[in-house]
Amino acid sequence: MRTTLTIDDDVLDEAKAVAAKLNAPFRRVVNEALRLGLQAVETAPRSRPYHTRPHKMGLKPGMNLDNIQELLAQIEGENHR
């Protein structure tokens, strides 16, 4: 079956080099590479979704969110800058 693909230049060069090295037709090298690659993609382990457990952080007693500059000064110290 004929189809049109856009292949990156480096992949094309590598496929042509392998075909020349093996003295095999370009078409056969590309088909075999696709077969092997598709098998690898199909059998690759699926990564599990990443989950985090939430924790209540809250503020320490005496800290207030109303004035961010003051809160940063309390947390980081006055000489932080």
pLDDT (tens place) for every residue of the chain, 81 residues total = 888 989 999 999 999 999 999 999 999 999 999 999 999 888 888 888 888 999 888 777 777 778 888 878 877 876 665
Categorise residue 69: left if φ over 0, alpha if ψ from -120 to 50, beta otherwise. Answer: alpha
The count of domains in the chain is: 1
Helix, strand, coil content of the chain in percent (nearest 5)? 50, 0, 50
Q: Are 64 and 70 in contact (CB under 8 A)?
A: yes
Q: Which domain holds residue 23?
A: 1-81
pTM score, two decimals? 0.53
Alpha-carbon distance of 24 to 13, in angstroms, equals 15
Alpha-carbon distance of 17 to 21, in angstroms, equals 6
